């Protein structure tokens, strides 16, 4: 059992290290090749195109053939993507690499989550999930900084050997991964239930529409979309902006790692914060912090201010993501919790896809710095809309209590 835990944690750590490294290296490499902002947006967004549509089929495939097999396929796709990045000398091969990498990351992450939920008994499961969470947080924080230092030491193309090495580690660990029996579902990817439901996809979509009638569910979906949008901007165009101001890749990578690290640390204090503030208040406060820190980035080009902004943005993301999960799950009946998490996952993937594309188009019309202000204004409007939905939900709950 401990062996299986170590293997799955190795998969999670290696996957997130490779993934977070690629997210920093790709936009910086594009900028070094002279790509315009709009093209950088297309390249970055290409990674989320297939996951947006294939999350459910991938889950169904994993149920049928086993999580080890799908993890191996995903790890191979990640390795192949890193090789494409390494040998490419122009923009268009990078798009191919991004598509391959997105498919690989979807497969590995889905199965890693599913595998960890199948290890241990009822008393040890929560502890094992904690170890797994620590492993992936470590990978998320380490990847960008390591990628930045590798780029400064060896150049951008050679730096892609770093995610390649960790993708190979995913493959090696997956060979020893427990092949959990079909039917075990990952907490964030469990929309695969609908694959096995006899009523099929149409019934699943009808149930999803019913859940989206709940104001709190709509608010949570909007909140997670806004914050994933913000996080994606900081992972992609934040590095490009800093490169234009002469910052080294290692400094940029460390600033992104700082955001990921603070995002993890703040979650340790979430329970204490909820004793003082309402869930809705804390959620909106996190959004305001994250969006503000991102929007004013062009005004904070000194390194100390950039570091503070990264810390604050990470706090906003760290507060938002677990709270939106709680909101969506809390509004869903027990039998539809998996579908609710699937709705949240789809919102995340949609934000990861449209964020770089919209920002890239905006950057093509305006200069890159001004785009931060304009997109930030739109994100604040989204926050206001989410606040209105949460207020509507509270009023409806009070009316229900009175009647």
- Is residue 23 located within the same domain as residue 134? yes
Whether the predicted pLDDT of 187 surpasses 90: no
Residue 183 lies in a domain: no
**Do residues 144 and 23 lie in contact, with contact meaning Cβ atoms separated by under 8 Å?**
yes
Do 154 and 269 fall into the same domain?
no
What is the distance between the alpha carbons of residues 270 and 264, in angstroms, rounded to a whole number? 11
CA separation for the pair 106, 57 (Å, rounded):
11
Rounded Cα–Cα distance for residues 166 and 148 (Å)? 15
User: What 8-state DSSP symbol labels residue 120?
Assistant: S
Q: What average pLDDT does the segment 308-337 reach?
A: 77
Domain boundary among 122, 144, 178: 178
Taking 50 as the threshold, does the pLDDT of residue 62 lie above it?
yes
Q: In terms of C-beta density within 10 A (0-12 exposed, 13-18 middle, 19 or more buried), how is residue 272 classed?
A: exposed
* Pair (167, 237) in one structural domain: no
388 and 243 belong to one structural domain: yes
Q: Which among 389, 56, 16 has a CA at the least distance from the CA of 226? A: 389
Do residues 157 and 218 both lie within one domain?
Answer: no
> CATH number for the domain including 139?
1.20.1250.20
Percent with pLDDT over 90 in the chain: 40
User: What span, in angstroms and rounded, lies between the C-alpha atoms of 259 and 199?
Assistant: 43
pLDDT of residue 361: 85
The verdict on 17 and 158 lying in the same domain is yes
Domain check: are 155 and 218 in the same one? no
210: pLDDT confidence band, cut at 50, 70 and 90? low
Question: What does the buried/exposed string (b/e) look like for 380-398 if buried means 16 or more CB atoms within 10 Å of the residue's CB?
Answer: bebbeebbebbeebeeeee
Query: Cα(249)–Cα(151) distance, rounded to whole angstroms?
Result: 6
Tell me if 140 is assigned to some domain. Answer: yes
On the question of pLDDT at 340 being above 90, the answer is no
Which residue has 């268009």 as its token pair? 92
Q: Is residue 193 part of a domain?
A: no
Higher pLDDT: 27 or 212? It is 27
Other CB atoms within a 10 A radius of the CB of residue 403 amount to 5
For position 188, what pLDDT does the model report?
44
Give the pLDDT score at 23: 93
Cα–Cα distance for residue pair 350/89, rounded to 1 Å? 29
Structure tokens at 209: 């529409």
- Kindly report the average pLDDT of the chain as a whole number: 82
Say yes or no: 164 and 256 in one domain.
Answer: no
Which tokens in the block code for residue 76?
A: 């191979």
Last residue of a domain, one of 178, 193, 223: 178
* 317 in the same domain as 214: yes
| Mean pLDDT along residues 144-169 | 95
In a domain, 188, yes or no: no
Stretch among 205-219, 243-257, 263-277 having the lowest mean pLDDT: 205-219
pLDDT confidence of residue 220: 80
Which structural domain range is residue 88 located in? 1-178
Helices (H), 66-199: 67-87, 91-117, 125-154, 156-159, 161-175, 193-196
Confidence at residue 171, expressed as pLDDT on a 0 to 100 scale: 92
**Residue 185 belongs to a domain:** no
> Which residues lie closer than 8 Å to 246 by C-beta, 6 or more apart?
none
Asked, for residue 387, whether it belongs to a domain, the answer is yes
Among the ranges given (26-40, 73-87, 169-183, 217-231), the one the predictor scored with the smallest mean pLDDT: 169-183
Assigned domain for 187 exists: no
- CB neighbourhood size of 205 (10 A): 12
Q: Are 262 and 314 in contact (CB under 8 A)?
A: yes
Average of per-residue pLDDT across 131-147: 88
pLDDT tens digits, one per residue of 259-278? 999 988 888 888 888 888 88
User: How many whole angstroms separate alpha carbon 371 and alpha carbon 157?
Assistant: 28
- Please tell me the pTM assigned to this model: 0.81
CA dist list (Å): 192 to 47, 60, 220, 283:
21, 6, 21, 28
Whether residues 8 and 146 share a domain: the answer is yes
pLDDT band at residue 397 using 50, 70 and 90 as cut-offs:
low
Does 32 lie in the same domain as 158?
yes
Confidence grade of residue 191 (pLDDT, cut at 50, 70, 90): very low
Last residue of a domain, one of 178, 194, 214: 178
Spatial distance between the Cα atoms of 252 and 255, rounded to a whole number of angstroms: 5
Please count the structural domains in the chain. 2
Q: With respect to residue 194, please indicate whether it lies within any of the assigned structural domains.
A: no
* Number of residues that make up the chain: 403
User: What is residue 116's predicted lDDT score, i.e. its pLDDT?
Assistant: 74
- Considering the domain architecture, whether residues 172 and 291 belong to the same structural domain is answered as no
Distances (CA, A) of 364 to 37, 129, 312, 357, 368: 6, 43, 28, 11, 8
- Which range has the worst mean pLDDT, 81-95, 180-194, 293-307? 180-194
Q: What whole-number percentage of the chain has pLDDT above 70? A: 79
Q: Please compute the mean of the pLDDT values over residues 115-144 and round it to a whole number.
A: 78
pLDDT above 50: residue 184:
no
């Amino acid at each position: 059992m401990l062996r299986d835990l170590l293997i799955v944690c190795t998969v999670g750590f290696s996957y997130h290290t490779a993934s977070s490294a690629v997210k920093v290296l790709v936009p910086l490499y594009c900028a070094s090749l002279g790509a315009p902002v709009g093209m950088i947006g297309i390249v970055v967004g290409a990674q989320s195109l297939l996951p947006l549509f294939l999350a459910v089929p991938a889950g169904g495939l994993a149920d049928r053939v086993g999580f080890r097999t799908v993890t191996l396929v995903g790890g191979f796709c990640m390795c192949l993507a890193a090789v494409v990045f390494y040998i490419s000398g122009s923009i268009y091969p990078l798009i191919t690499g991004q598509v391959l990498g997105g498919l690989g990351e979807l497969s590995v992450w889905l199965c890693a989550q599913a595998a960890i939920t199948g290890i241990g008994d009822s008393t040890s499961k929560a502890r094992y999930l904690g170890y797994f969470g620590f492993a992936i947080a470590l990978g998320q924080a380490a990847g960008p900084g390591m990628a930045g230092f590798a780029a400064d030491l060896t150049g951008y193309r050679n730096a892609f050997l770093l995610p390649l090495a960790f993708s190979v580690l995913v493959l090696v660990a997956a060979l020893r991964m427990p092949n959990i029996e079909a039917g075990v579902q990952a907490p964030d990817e469990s929309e695969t239930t609908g694959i096995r439901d006899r009523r099929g996809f149409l019934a699943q979509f009808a149930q999803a529409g019913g859940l989206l009638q709940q104001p709190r569910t709509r608010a949570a979906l909007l909140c997670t979309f806004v914050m994933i949008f913000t996080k994606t901007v900081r992972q992609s165009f934040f590095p490009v902006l800093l490169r234009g101001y002469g910052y080294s890749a290692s400094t940029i990578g460390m600033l992104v790692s700082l955001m990921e690290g603070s995002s993890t640390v703040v979650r340790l204090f979430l329970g204490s914060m909820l004793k003082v503030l309402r869930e809705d208040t804390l959620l909106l406060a996190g959004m305001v912090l994250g969006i503000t820190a991102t929007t004013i980035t062009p005004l904070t080009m000194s390194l100390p201010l950039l570091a503070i902004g990264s810390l604050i943005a990470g706090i906003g993301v760290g507060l938002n993501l677990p709270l939106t999960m709680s909101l969506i799950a809390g509004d869903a009946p027990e039998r539809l919790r998996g579908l609710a998490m699937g709705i949240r996952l789809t919102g995340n993937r949609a934000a990861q896809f449209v964020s770089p594309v919209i920002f890239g188009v905006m950057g093509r019309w305006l200069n890159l710095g001004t785009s931060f202000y304009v997109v930030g204004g739109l994100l604040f409007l989204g926050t206001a809309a989410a606040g209105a939905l949460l207020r509507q939900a509270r009023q409806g709950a009070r009316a229900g209590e009175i009647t």
